[in-house]
Amino acid sequence: MVRAPGPLLLPLLLPLLHVSATTPDPCEIDDDDFRCVCNFTDPQPNWSSAFQCMSAVEVEIRGGGRSLQQFIKIVDTEPKQYVDLIKTLRWRRLTVGAAQVPVRLLFAVLRALGYSRLEELTLEDLEVTGTTPPPPLETTGPALVTLSLRNLSWAIEGTWLAELQQWLKPGLKVLNIAQAHSLAFSCAELHAFPALTTLDLSDNPGLGDSGLTAALCPHKFPALQELVLRNAGIETTNGVCVALAAAGVQPHRLDLSHNSLRATAPDAPGCVWPSALSSLNLSFAGLEQVPKGLPASLSVLDLSCNRLKRAPRPDELPKVSSLTLDGNPFLDSGAPNHQENPNNSGLVPACARSILAVGMTGTLALLQGAGNFA
Ligand SMILES: *[C@@H]1O[C@H](CO)[C@@H](O)[C@H](O)[C@H]1NC(C)=O
Ligand SMILES: *[C@@H]1O[C@H](CO)[C@@H](O)[C@H](O)[C@H]1NC(C)=O
Ligand SMILES: *[C@@H]1O[C@H](CO)[C@@H](O)[C@H](O)[C@H]1NC(C)=O
Ligand SMILES: *[C@@H]1O[C@H](CO)[C@@H](O)[C@H](O)[C@H]1NC(C)=O
Ligand SMILES: *[C@@H]1O[C@H](CO)[C@@H](O)[C@H](O)[C@H]1NC(C)=O
């Protein structure tokens, strides 16, 4: 017969009981009450643990890949029941990831966050299910500065950005969309982003020149200053120029690094670059020669980590004041074993490592999003 331990023994046993009886708390908040991270990986997660994040400024919540359907009653909750609570939140940055979420719930949460002071929202690894609710009757949702979306799949394919946009106040400045399953937007439904200065479509290796034309809905990005297309399957500089002209987009800075660029075909349509374009990043682009027809207005040009056999001539780049050429073989012709090694790609070692890293993430994204860019 097992006898219950006497009261004196209990304090000794408690630490042991504690370890075996409870799973680790899914949420952790740092000592300054600044950053709170929840990772609900347990099969029966204790969702109420998230309440400790109420006092944090940066909050990150991952749902362990499970469905958030059980929270659907938020959709029918009257805002007056939560407004006062939401207004007290200090949240500035929120990340929500790894979950299956009904679109009606997602938009209801955005409506609720309209009463918060949230500035930056990141959504990643979400499967957004179901059809959309009717659009809001008035401007609602958070006044975000930055919205980042990575690896989101939407049941509402071509219209997701237009639908999402209606649940944000119109001051958005930075929009990042990576590993998108579809960037072919139905432009008729999309409203302009009047304040958007940075559009980053990096890490969409299936995009390509024609996908870019489909993604850049004409006249929807009137304030754009920076377009980032790193590792976006871009094929030619001319293809980008044509897409920008068709969309009426006038960026000052354009990043085409980490794309395998080839020379523009002689019969390709000619193109006029945006007159304001002053900075172009063509590093890690596999270039064997300086592309023809680069904008004459460029003051910053990064050609590092290519396979250039000579430096650009001054007449090719009349206004350039910052030119980066590191990691091109013409700077390195005296290096040993350059000719003998059959595996040598013509790349300088400092650049090769970075190519490999991007190549790997690109392949993962490609496998994961295969066939989604029709
Ligand atoms: C969440 O937990 C899972 C399983 O333990 C782990 O694989 C994942 O990296 C965690 N995510 C974060 C952001 O900590
Ligand atoms: C769930 O988390 C809350 C807040 O951290 C805690 O008070 C409660 O005891 C937890 N419940 C269980 C069953 O672990
Ligand atoms: C993308 O998100 C899905 C969940 O919707 C997840 O299963 C998958 O692992 C994610 N892919 C990557 C590359 O993270
Ligand atoms: C160009 O892009 C590369 C790789 O994405 C980056 O390391 C580099 O800093 C960029 N150059 C400029 C001038 O911004
Ligand atoms: C070339 O690559 C192959 C396969 O990766 C390797 O076995 C071989 O040793 C390499 N040759 C040289 C000279 O580095």
Considering the domain architecture, whether residues 71 and 106 belong to the same structural domain is answered as: yes
pLDDT at 373: 40
Residue range 220-235: mean pLDDT, rounded: 98
Residue 153's domain is classified under what CATH number? 3.80.10.10
Q: Can you give the residue range of the structural domain that contains 135? A: 1-192
Q: Is 124 inside a domain boundary? A: yes
339: buried, middle or exposed (CB in 10 Å: 19+, 13-18, 0-12)? exposed
Considering the domain architecture, whether residues 229 and 183 belong to the same structural domain is answered as: no
Q: Answer with the residue of higher pLDDT: 141 or 138.
A: 141
pLDDT at 358 over 60: no
Dist. CA 115–CA 106, nearest whole Å:
15
Q: Is 368 inside a domain boundary? A: no
Q: Is 369 inside a domain boundary? A: no
Rounded CA Rg of the chain: 26
Q: How far is the CA of 44 from the centre of ligand 1 (A)?
A: 16
What digits encode the pLDDT tens for the residues 182-216?
A: 999 999 999 999 999 999 999 999 999 999 999 99
pLDDT at 110 over 70: yes
Considering the domain architecture, whether residues 317 and 330 belong to the same structural domain is answered as: yes
Q: How far is the CA of 305 from the centre of ligand 5 (A)?
A: 22
Dist. CA 36–CA 58, nearest whole Å:
6
Considering the domain architecture, whether residues 43 and 176 belong to the same structural domain is answered as: yes
Q: How far is the CA of 188 from the centre of ligand 3 (A)?
A: 29
Task: Find the ligand nearest to 324 CA.
Answer: 4
Q: Is 371 inside a domain boundary? A: no
Is the minimum distance from the CB of 341 to ligand 5 under 6 angstroms? yes
Top mutation candidate among 343, 344, 345 for ligand 5, by most atoms within 8 Å of CB? 343
pLDDT at 67: 95
What digits encode the pLDDT tens for the residues 29-51?
A: 999 999 999 999 988 899 999 99
pLDDT at 155: 95
Contact (Cβ atoms closer than 8 angstroms) between residue 245 and residue 216: no
What digits encode the pLDDT tens for the residues 56-69?
A: 999 999 999 999 99
Q: Is 373 inside a domain boundary? A: no
Beta strands in 43-107 (DSSP E): 58-62, 93-102
Q: How far is the CA of 147 from the centre of ligand 1 (A)?
A: 23
Helices (H), 9-123: 10-21, 83-88, 103-113
Considering the domain architecture, whether residues 59 and 76 belong to the same structural domain is answered as: yes
Q: How far is the CA of 283 from the centre of ligand 4 (A)?
A: 7
Considering the domain architecture, whether residues 85 and 164 belong to the same structural domain is answered as: yes
Is the minimum distance from the CB of 48 to ligand 2 under 6 angstroms? yes
Total count of domains within the chain: 2
Q: Is 367 inside a domain boundary? A: no
Q: Is 364 inside a domain boundary? A: no
Considering the domain architecture, whether residues 123 and 255 belong to the same structural domain is answered as: no
Instruction: Tell me which of 160, 192, 224 is where a domain ends.
Output: 192
Instruction: Tell me which of 192, 211, 230 is where a domain ends.
Output: 192
Considering the domain architecture, whether residues 158 and 115 belong to the same structural domain is answered as: yes
Is the minimum distance from the CB of 257 to ligand 4 under 6 angstroms? yes
pLDDT averaged over every residue in the chain: 86
Q: Is 47 inside a domain boundary? A: yes
Would you place residue 268 in the very low, low, confident or very high pLDDT band (cuts 50, 70, 90)? Answer: confident
Q: Answer with the residue of higher pLDDT: 224 or 312.
A: 224
What digits encode the pLDDT tens for the residues 313-326?
A: 888 888 899 999 99
Contact (Cβ atoms closer than 8 angstroms) between residue 34 and residue 10: no
pLDDT at 364: 39
Considering the domain architecture, whether residues 163 and 223 belong to the same structural domain is answered as: no
Query: Which residues neighbour 68 within 8 Å (Cβ) at sequence distance 6 or greater?
Result: 99, 100, 101, 102, 105
The 3-state DSSP class for residue 171 equals: coil
What digits encode the pLDDT tens for the residues 74-87?
A: 999 998 999 999 99
Considering the domain architecture, whether residues 304 and 342 belong to the same structural domain is answered as: yes
pLDDT at 22: 57
Considering the domain architecture, whether residues 77 and 210 belong to the same structural domain is answered as: no
pLDDT at 113: 97
pLDDT at 350: 65
Considering the domain architecture, whether residues 120 and 206 belong to the same structural domain is answered as: no
pLDDT at 356: 44
Instruction: Tell me which of 163, 192, 221 is where a domain ends.
Output: 192
Dist. CA 57–CA 37, nearest whole Å:
11
